[in-house]
Amino acid sequence: MPVVRTTKTFRELRNQAEDDFKFHQPAVALVYHGGSAQDFIGIRIECAKAGKEFVSNIAFGRDPDGELYYNDLLELRGVGKYEIQFKVGQVLQIIVRNPNNGIVACASAIGWLSFDADHPEVPLVGKWNDYKALDVASVITCAVGSTDVTISLDSLAKKVTFKLPSPCVKGMNHMGTTTIVSVNDIPNGTCSMVDFDADRVLFYPKIGSTVMTGYFIPSVKDKADLVALGQQAFISSSANGIWQAA
């Protein structure tokens, strides 16, 4: 299935979706690429109110905000093929079909996708799963010149700490959201691999794991927040992220 540029506006796509589907719920999505914009990897759609996620090669991500349209939740299961329709910087729509090519859902968002996502070597296939996750308001902190980072999950009386490879130049004190499947997955003393970048922190149980322990995404209020965590990017060589009581 293709990745295509559309000439339609977000309003036109939304109106069409409202005509075609009975239900719609707030949702978030991600079109993910590798080292360059052309290195398309996959997508993820998350709809907490419908209790569903659609995953193709990536296990995390929630940008941009939009809507998930569907007729029957029972159709949102198993393997699905998808196509991406977009207008650079303006509109993104993902159409998901069942194996018989019947359209079961579409996700629409506005004001995003600044690159051509097509990549012929990546099969545009994903899988519907039940969405089970806990979103926890959090704060990430690091003093200027320090390498010690703490993400505090106050409502759970938990925190996770890890070290940066280089001192933090500007320091960090930023609100955000930590997503985990269950607090039972992070008993005190749990160690995680850390995958750190300017716009998110990912935690894995071990190298090469396809299942995450959790992830932190800073709140975004303006363009500067897209690099709220600074300019460092690294994957830890050992499990130096430690979950413990706050």
Contact status, residue 213 vs residue 204, Cβ threshold 8 Å: yes
pLDDT value of position 71 = 92
pLDDT value of position 139 = 97
pLDDT value of position 60 = 67
Q: Which amino acid is located at 5 in the chain?
A: R
70 phi/psi in degrees, rounded to 5: -160, 165
Contact status, residue 162 vs residue 240, Cβ threshold 8 Å: yes
pLDDT in tens, the chain (246 residues): 466 777 887 788 888 889 999 999 988 877 776 555 456 677 888 888 899 989 887 766 656 678 899 999 999 989 998 888 777 666 678 888 887 667 888 877 654 455 555 555 667 888 999 988 888 999 999 999 999 999 999 999 999 999 999 999 989 999 999 999 889 989 999 999 999 988 889 898 887 676 789 999 888 766 555 667 888 889 898 899 999 999
Q: CA nearest 33: which of 23, 44, 25, 42?
A: 42
pLDDT value of position 1 = 45
Query: pTM of whole model > 0.75?
Result: no
Q: CA nearest 94: which of 46, 147, 156?
A: 46
The token pair that represents 111 in the structure block: 């004001």
Count of all residues that appear for the chain in the document: 246
Q: What percentage of the chain's residues is helix, strand, coil (to nearest 5)?
A: 10, 50, 40
Domains of the chain: 4-130 (2.40.128.480), 134-245 (no CATH)
Please count the other Cβ atoms lying within 10 Å of the Cβ belonging to residue 19. 8
Contact status, residue 154 vs residue 141, Cβ threshold 8 Å: no
Q: Which amino acid is located at 101 in the chain?
A: N
The DSSP 8-state label assigned to residue 233 in this structure reads -
